[in-house]
Chains A and B, each alone.
Chain A
């Protein structure tokens, strides 16, 4: 994050706009392997591990997925989009507005949860219709028991 990368060129009016930073193919492939491995872990957890646990433990798996997703997003933005190698001014003009998402996600999910709780409490009819079983089997699948 510091401003003084040794390769940040002072004269940037030429064509090399990220300041003569030499292109590092090795870092790209390393990023690729990191992304691939994280995705594979996510899939193994999602396919084989999470279904063995009761549904009320899903929140812990979701937190795990959020951590993995954030890690992947960081690597894509930092390495593929090259933001890590830009100067601090550019990093901040992107990163600071993106922090709004933290508030945005927190506020809206909280609101949704509150709406659900209020409706379950104040509108029991809604809860009863929710218990109705579907009658038609899905095309191409076994009918539901």
Chain B
């Protein structure tokens, strides 16, 4: 397997993939590129509007609640829990890909299961956060939070927050659905019959991308 390739390997000479990956995996990368530009356009429009506004709500003030603790003045603690859940589910996803490399069906099933649990936990956290903000009076077109300097804020803050975290949450949701399909396929032995677990790798790319987007959403909404 581990043959060394000479430095002047002619990848573009034809007869093989110049990218040295399977077609579907390459196309997943290109899909993720296009998705990155969609999220990029959302986040950049948010940044552009925020730069065009004199003041903006303080995230430490807006996101200071925790379930069952009310307004415990715990800024960012809940969202750090969400971040931790997503990073953790990314790790279990890599471990599922690794088990797939080893053609270890039990391992794939186990780690895919935990990835799905992580995804659902993240969605549950987001549902709680949205519900809580909704009851505080925030929604599309409604923003009860003042700017950091006490002046009245525009509704742009809630509009962008719900649109972008909603779009990301939709990606997490579809990722969970895809992961469940992969789990069922693994349980049915589909990948064993195919002789490879490449589908797990492609799903893994998508799932890591969702985690990657969250890293940016987290910075843009909760830290800036």
Question: Residues of A with Cβ closer than 8 Å to B?
Answer: 3-13, 15-20, 22-23, 25, 28-29, 32, 35-36, 39-40, 42-43, 46-47, 51, 55, 61-62, 65-66, 68-69, 72-73, 76-77, 80-81, 86-87, 89-90, 93-94, 97-98, 101, 104-105, 108-109, 111-113, 115-116, 119-120, 127, 130-134, 136, 138-141, 144
Contacts and interface: CB of A to CB of B under 8 A. Distances in A.
Given A80-B94, A104-B44, A138-B136, A144 B20 contact: no
Interface residues of B, number: 82
B69 interface: no
12 contacts: A8-B5, A23-B97, A73-B216, A76-B211, A104-B40, A109-B44, A112-B51, A116-B54, A130-B151, A132-B152, A134-B146, A139-B135
B48 A10 contact: no
A132 to B, nearest CB: 5
Question: Which of B3, B11, B36 has the largest number of chain A CB atoms within 10 A?
Answer: B3
Contacts of A65: 219, 223-224
Interface of B: 1-7, 9, 11, 16-22, 25-26, 29, 33, 36, 40, 44-45, 47-55, 59-60, 70-71, 75-77, 80, 83-84, 87-88, 90-91, 93-95, 97-98, 101-102, 135-137, 144-146, 148-153, 195-196, 198, 201, 204-205, 208-209, 211-212, 215-216, 219, 222-224
Nearest to B198: A17
A55 B144 contact: no
